[in-house]
Amino acid sequence: MRHFLKLGDRSSAAYTQLFARTHELKSRRRRGLHDDTLRGKTLVLLFEKASTRTRLSFEAAMFQLGGACIDLPMSQSQLNRGEPLTDTAKVIAGYADALVFRTHGDDRLAAYADASRIPVINGLSDGGHPVQLLADLFTIEEKLGSVKGTTIAFIGDGATNMGLSFIEAAPIFGFHLRLAAPIGYQPAAINDHVFLTTDPRVAVAGADVVVTDVWTSMGQEAETAARLAAFAGFQVDADLMKLAKPTAIVLHCLPAHRGEEISAEVIDGPQSVVFEEAENRMHVQKALLEETIRNPTLLSEFTWDAEHPPLKKSILDALTADAIAWGEVVNQAAKLAINKQPSAEVFGMTRTGTTRTVVAAQWLQLWHYAQSGSDRGEYHFRIVEVTFAGGKQTAERVLGEIKREVTERGDEDFDVDGEFRAFRDATLSKLGMR
């Protein structure tokens, strides 16, 4: 079980895979294709704060992946009448496969996660908004080609969840963050990827991306007048945007207050991608839900079957072809294995259980490599990740990235293609074909 409470809960390599899957899911939706990777799965939304995009995007994501979503408003739950949070966590774990918790203090988020037997996703807390950051960074990759190496200017309250999440994300994704905030609204701590200033012009000069957020967040309404005074001069307007690169894009997590943190001219102008950013919440959360609910460790439920069913010649040919074709076949097998769906229609088998257990066993074998903590463990894990979760284009791109990293790290003796073939051959052997 892997919670997603903060961005640091996943590695850079995992986010590469997550964004690759997001590109695929978004493309499939645009082409009118449907997925049912989470058929039979249930997500619960437990929100202690108001929400538009987080609620709608998670509900739509689960529905479009074939699953179900239950919205449990705090005001209509027994939590509102004093039931302990930990009791609620234990009860919901018996009904659902994952939960999105939108709350106030991070202590409540941690307490819920500690008591839960199912994965918990942070839908927003005082300490961070990681699911929004995933959408923001995916949008940057989509529009600019890469997040790594970009300069992002964040203009606004650096001590609230959005500012804190951008600070956390910078070293993980490899971007440079310039954070402009007035004294009294700056973060308590930063890292080597962050430059802190009180001048928005310094932050925006030459930036690839300009980000802002509301000056008064939920729960801070009593401070509105003081905040309006403190943030005077911090509006992202046309004059400020002239300092950024001509190709710069503008992000805002919404809701926006035109005339305060951002001008109408900018948010509704040609450099703004805020509404596609909002749509991307759904696409990236689809990938996150797949990754979280379809956790490989769950495959330990499978048992080994010594008998090997026959496969159609077309499938055998695909299995023994190159790594890319193999990735297409195993991608389908993994979906069937993880969701325990009948596979006879896909593979033309007389029996189905063996293939599911073989796929599960191979996944688990390489999952253990990821736990080794070494670079080679990461290589192995990414190979199997892209085999199971990636399509043809993703597999080709990610395998190429692994090869480049192997060269950069001086690990030339690690044979990426050879390791891929070894994984394929081991599976064929277990199927009685080698």
User: How many domains are contained in the chain?
Assistant: 3
Mark whether 255 and 287 lie in a shared domain.
Answer: no
pLDDT score recorded for residue 338: 42
Six token digits for residue 154? 């964040």
| Catalytic one of 10, 235, 253, 283 | 253
Mark whether 60 and 141 lie in a shared domain.
Answer: no
Placement of tokens 């009180």 in the chain? 198
Mark whether 264 and 303 lie in a shared domain.
Answer: no
User: From the CB of residue 71, how many other CB atoms can be counted at a distance below 10 Å?
Assistant: 15
Q: Assess contact for 158 and 178: CB atoms under 8 A.
A: no
Mark whether 264 and 151 lie in a shared domain.
Answer: yes
pLDDT score recorded for residue 421: 66
Instruction: Give the separation between CA 43 and CA 150, rounded to whole angstroms.
Output: 35
Q: CA nearest 218: which of 110, 102, 59, 122? A: 102
- Rg over alpha carbons for the chain, rounded to the nearest Å, is 23
Q: Assess contact for 286 and 22: CB atoms under 8 A.
A: yes
Mark whether 175 and 242 lie in a shared domain.
Answer: yes
Is 132 assigned a catalytic role? yes
Mark whether 103 and 141 lie in a shared domain.
Answer: no
**Per the domain annotation, does 355 fall within a domain?**
yes
DSSP conformational letter for 258: B
Q: Assess contact for 12 and 18: CB atoms under 8 A.
A: no
pLDDT score recorded for residue 129: 98
CA dihedral sign of residues 424, 348, 286, 50: negative
**Per the domain annotation, does 197 fall within a domain?**
yes
| Catalytic one of 252, 281, 283, 380 | 281
**Per the domain annotation, does 2 fall within a domain?**
no
**Per the domain annotation, does 426 fall within a domain?**
yes
**Per the domain annotation, does 313 fall within a domain?**
yes
pLDDT score recorded for residue 408: 76
Predicted structure pTM score: 0.71
pLDDT score recorded for residue 300: 30
Burial (Cβ within 10 Å: 0-12, 13-18, ≥19) of residue 29: middle
Mark whether 305 and 419 lie in a shared domain.
Answer: yes
pLDDT in tens, 332-391: 444 444 444 433 333 333 233 444 444 444 444 444 444 444 555 566 656 655 554 445
Is 102 assigned a catalytic role? yes
Which one of 229, 263, 292 terminates a domain? 292
Mark whether 27 and 64 lie in a shared domain.
Answer: yes
- 276: Cβ–Cβ under 8 A, 6 or more apart, which residues? 139, 142
Q: Assess contact for 278 and 163: CB atoms under 8 A.
A: no
Instruction: Provide the residue range defining the domain that includes 334.
Output: 296-430
| Catalytic one of 129, 227, 283, 424 | 129
DSSP-derived 3-state class of residue 149: coil
Which one of 257, 292, 327 terminates a domain? 292
| Catalytic one of 17, 132, 235, 362 | 132
Instruction: Give the separation between CA 423 and CA 432, rounded to whole angstroms.
Output: 15
Instruction: Give the separation between CA 162 and CA 213, rounded to whole angstroms.
Output: 8
Q: Assess contact for 104 and 219: CB atoms under 8 A.
A: yes
Mark whether 273 and 284 lie in a shared domain.
Answer: no
Which one of 228, 261, 292 terminates a domain? 292
Placement of tokens 């911090």 in the chain? 234
Mark whether 110 and 136 lie in a shared domain.
Answer: no
Is 253 assigned a catalytic role? yes
pLDDT score recorded for residue 230: 97
DSSP-derived 3-state class of residue 388: helix
DSSP conformational letter for 121: E
**Per the domain annotation, does 95 fall within a domain?**
yes
pLDDT in tens, 93-149: 999 999 999 999 999 999 999 999 999 999 999 999 999 999 999 999 999 999 999
**Per the domain annotation, does 1 fall within a domain?**
no
pLDDT score recorded for residue 335: 47
| pLDDT tens series, the chain, 434 aa | 689 999 999 989 889 989 999 999 999 999 998 888 898 899 999 999 999 999 999 999 999 999 999 999 888 899 989 999 999 999 999 999 999 999 999 999 999 999 999 999 999 999 999 999 999 999 999 999 999 999 999 999 999 999 999 999 999 999 999 999 999 999 999 999 999 999 999 999 999 999 999 999 878 889 999 999 999 999 999 999 999 999 999 999 999 999 999 999 999 999 999 999 999 999 999 999 998 986 433 323 222 232 333 333 333 333 333 333 334 444 444 444 444 443 333 333 323 344 444 444 444 444 444 444 455 556 665 665 555 444 556 666 777 777 887 787 777 777 777 776 666 565 555 444 44
**Per the domain annotation, does 70 fall within a domain?**
yes
| Catalytic one of 21, 102, 178, 294 | 102
List phi, psi (to 5°) of 185: -130, 25
Mark whether 152 and 264 lie in a shared domain.
Answer: yes
Amino acid at 10: R
pLDDT score recorded for residue 302: 27
Q: Assess contact for 350 and 312: CB atoms under 8 A.
A: no
DSSP-derived 3-state class of residue 195: strand
Is 213 assigned a catalytic role? yes
Mark whether 423 and 301 lie in a shared domain.
Answer: yes
Task: Please report, for residues 127, 239, 240, the alpha-carbon distance to residue 246 in angstroms, rounded to integers and kept in the order given.
Answer: 33, 12, 12
- For the domain that residue 121 is a member of, what is the CATH number? 3.40.50.1370
Q: Assess contact for 397 and 327: CB atoms under 8 A.
A: no
| Catalytic one of 213, 235, 285, 294 | 213
